[in-house]
Amino acid sequence: MVIGGEFFYDDRWNTTNRSVLPKDMLFLNGGKACLIVISRFLINHGINRVLLPSYLCPTIVSTLERCGLHCDYYQVLPDFSIDLEDLDRKAIHHQVVYFINYFGFFHSEYEQTFLKNLQHHGKLLIEDNAQAGFNPHQFGDFVFNSIRKLAPYDGGYLSTTTDLMMHRDQQDNSFNHRLPVIRRYRKLMADYVFRGWGRYEELVDLYNLAETFYETDWIIEGNSQERFYIEQLDWKQIKTKRQENYSYLLEQISGICELKPIFTSLQTDNMPLGLPVYVSGISRDWLFDQLGKNGIGLTIHWNGLLSDPRLNQNAIATNMARTILTLVIDQRLNRTQLDYLAYNLVYLCKSGKRVSSEN
């Protein structure tokens, strides 16, 4: 049984109708491309600093810095809320504030009101919905998502009232090295999962190559074929399935004291990326590895933070990164697979205690 990992082609979620009507949205190559276009706009308007949350993917920082922006940080707390006093103090010295809707969950109404007040007083807000998909409650001046985190296609939608066409058209690299590789991976992975064809080692090599190209490619324009398939997906049903899986798995792991869910309930109309938990009493890395050996591929958001000198000086952020683990609940999973995941979590958490006591 294969659970999690990179998305593979799965036509169960295709529709004959266009489910996304991207009015006033630019379709670009992905979340990274959206950041590049936003950064170019800021630089062109004399803005060279951005205030970011302390907990984020290092790739975001690398992209902004490569575009010529300097990054400063405000505190995010272990429950992924914003330390508003810290933000208020630091926002005085910045024109741009970046915030993330982590794991597809929106910030509290109070936090949103605070951010909107900054906006009202002239601050530009970058709203990162890379993990949230199509957010019906967005309010940032620049809002973007990343489809590859939610479905087997590459692309990102950028919403803004600002004309960004001239910044989109500045191409740095015209050939997309990643796309043919990840397409081949997605096809072969589907064959492996549904038909038992192929070699797992080849899939790992393809995925690693695609990720290498993701880091090095500097592609802006989105692919029209990818866009077509994205907009034919039944996003309403995908959201419903993710919500159902989240609620079911949350109940299944409720008795595992080593796992502490960060978001203990769904929000109205949100589409969860995964079910993030903090692991305690056993080694998170040991649990991650053991699950992988049992065919369960999970994600650590974001392990790279621990080794990044730009980010790992923040004690709260590093403590979060050392113990967090995102359980998979996406639309590919049925109840049998969720039960298998829950069973392994129960068994391994008990085993992990024994391993810890022996060491």
Question: Could you tell me the end-to-end alpha-carbon distance of the chain, in angstroms, rounded to an integer?
Answer: 31
Do residues 113 and 201 both lie within one domain?
A: no
Which of 168, 186, 204 is the last residue before a domain boundary?
168
Bigger pLDDT: 159 or 167?
159
Do residues 344 and 239 both lie within one domain?
A: yes
Choose among 51, 49, 130, 62: nearest CA to 301: 130
Q: What is the mean pLDDT of residues 160-174?
A: 71
Do residues 287 and 191 both lie within one domain?
A: no
Tell me, yes or no, whether 86 lies in a domain.
Answer: yes
Do residues 42 and 161 both lie within one domain?
A: yes
What's the mean per-residue pLDDT of the chain?
94
Choose among 149, 138, 118, 112: nearest CA to 51: 118
Q: How far apart are CA 22 and CA 265, in angstroms?
A: 29
Which of 188, 216, 244 is the last residue before a domain boundary?
216
Tell me, yes or no, whether 15 lies in a domain.
Answer: no
Predicted TM-score of the model (pTM): 0.95
Do residues 61 and 101 both lie within one domain?
A: yes
Asked if residue 24 has pLDDT above 90, the reply is no
Least reliable range by pLDDT among 34-48, 161-175, 208-222: 161-175
Do residues 304 and 164 both lie within one domain?
A: no
Within the chain, strands assigned E span: 3-4, 25-28, 49-53, 70-74, 96-100, 124-129, 142-145, 156-159, 259-261, 275-279, 296-297, 324-327
Choose among 316, 304, 326: nearest CA to 76: 316
Which of 187, 216, 245 is the last residue before a domain boundary?
216
Confidence at residue 59, expressed as pLDDT on a 0 to 100 scale: 97
Confidence at residue 161, expressed as pLDDT on a 0 to 100 scale: 85
Asked if residue 356 has pLDDT above 90, the reply is no
Q: Range of 84's domain? A: 20-168
Judge contact between 29 and 219, C-beta under 8 A. yes
Tell me, yes or no, whether 226 lies in a domain.
Answer: no
Structural tokens at position 316 = 């709260």
Question: How would residue 155 be classed by pLDDT, with cut points 50, 70 and 90?
Answer: very high
Confidence at residue 190, expressed as pLDDT on a 0 to 100 scale: 95
Structural tokens at position 220 = 């802006």
Question: How would residue 294 be classed by pLDDT, with cut points 50, 70 and 90?
Answer: very high
Question: How would residue 302 be classed by pLDDT, with cut points 50, 70 and 90?
Answer: very high
User: For 328-352, how does the pLDDT look when each residue is reduced to its tens digit (9 = 90+)?
Assistant: 999 999 999 999 999 999 999 998 7
Question: How would residue 319 be classed by pLDDT, with cut points 50, 70 and 90?
Answer: very high
Do residues 255 and 133 both lie within one domain?
A: no
Tell me, yes or no, whether 75 lies in a domain.
Answer: yes
Do residues 42 and 157 both lie within one domain?
A: yes
Q: Phi/psi of residue 163, each to 5°?
A: -75, 110
The strand pairing partners of 127, in sequence order, are: 99, 143
Do residues 254 and 347 both lie within one domain?
A: yes
- Cα-only R_g, the chain: 20
Q: How far apart are CA 37 and CA 220, in angstroms?
A: 8
Do residues 33 and 150 both lie within one domain?
A: yes
What single letter denotes the amino acid at residue 265?
Answer: S
What single letter denotes the amino acid at residue 279?
Answer: V
Confidence at residue 192, expressed as pLDDT on a 0 to 100 scale: 94
Structural tokens at position 287 = 């649990």
Confidence at residue 341, expressed as pLDDT on a 0 to 100 scale: 98
Do residues 27 and 112 both lie within one domain?
A: yes
Tell me, yes or no, whether 196 lies in a domain.
Answer: yes
Tell me, yes or no, whether 5 lies in a domain.
Answer: no
Confidence at residue 17, expressed as pLDDT on a 0 to 100 scale: 80
Do residues 154 and 83 both lie within one domain?
A: yes
Confidence at residue 18, expressed as pLDDT on a 0 to 100 scale: 80
Confidence at residue 352, expressed as pLDDT on a 0 to 100 scale: 77
Tell me, yes or no, whether 197 lies in a domain.
Answer: yes
**CATH number assigned to the domain comprising residue 240:** 3.90.1150.10
Neighbours of 141 (CB within 10 A): 17
Judge contact between 9 and 187, C-beta under 8 A. yes
Q: How many domains does the chain have?
A: 3
**CATH number assigned to the domain comprising residue 98:** 3.40.640.10
Q: What percent of the chain shows pLDDT beyond 70?
A: 95
Tell me, yes or no, whether 14 lies in a domain.
Answer: no
Q: How far apart are CA 258 and CA 173, in angstroms?
A: 46
Asked if residue 359 has pLDDT above 80, the reply is no
DSSP state of 76: B
Question: How would residue 173 be classed by pLDDT, with cut points 50, 70 and 90?
Answer: low
